[in-house]
Amino acid sequence: MPVQVGTVVEGTVSGITNFGAFIDLGEGQTGLVHISEVADDYVKNIRDYLKDDQKVKVKVLSIGKDGKISLSIKQTALPKKKSVKPAEVDFRKTESNYGVSFDDKVSRFLKDSDEKMQSVKSKGKDGRKGNGYNSKRA
């Protein structure tokens, strides 16, 4: 039976290179599993994951016009659970334990910040220039 794109078939590792593994699919057909399609993890050395003559399940990703078959091992694994998306929060309506809204907190922060800046600016207006060191010339 000829392989079709999207199907999962069993094959045998017939050769391993530094960029992937060749899989014998039977009936004279051979496909390539690129190193990036071996596992979900980063694969530095493909021989850590596959051995010659090992039986593997592969998914057919594509079949080129030239007859080259692209395969994936990692896509045959059970699908991972999708991560739960965090709830969307409207911070303008959120109230803390003290009943103060986010907008009120920001307003308070800006007011306090402005007061502190005015305090710092007024301390520096004693008529001196420079960086605060007393520089007397001899």
Q: Look up the CATH number of the domain holding residue 59.
A: 2.40.50.140
User: What pLDDT sits at residue 21?
Assistant: 94
CB–CB of 63/14 below 8 Å? no
Q: Are residues 72 and 93 in the same domain?
A: no
Residues 49-62 have pLDDT tens digits of 999 999 999 999 99
Specify the pTM: 0.55
| 103-127 mean pLDDT | 80
Q: Are residues 42 and 99 in the same domain?
A: no
In this structure, is residue 13 part of a structural domain?
A: yes
Query: How many domains does the chain contain in total?
Result: 2
Reading the block at residue 107, the tokens are 């307003």
Q: How many CA atoms lie within 13 A of 61 on its CB side?
A: 16
Least confident of 3-12, 53-62, 96-105, 123-132: 123-132
Range of the domain at 21: 8-76
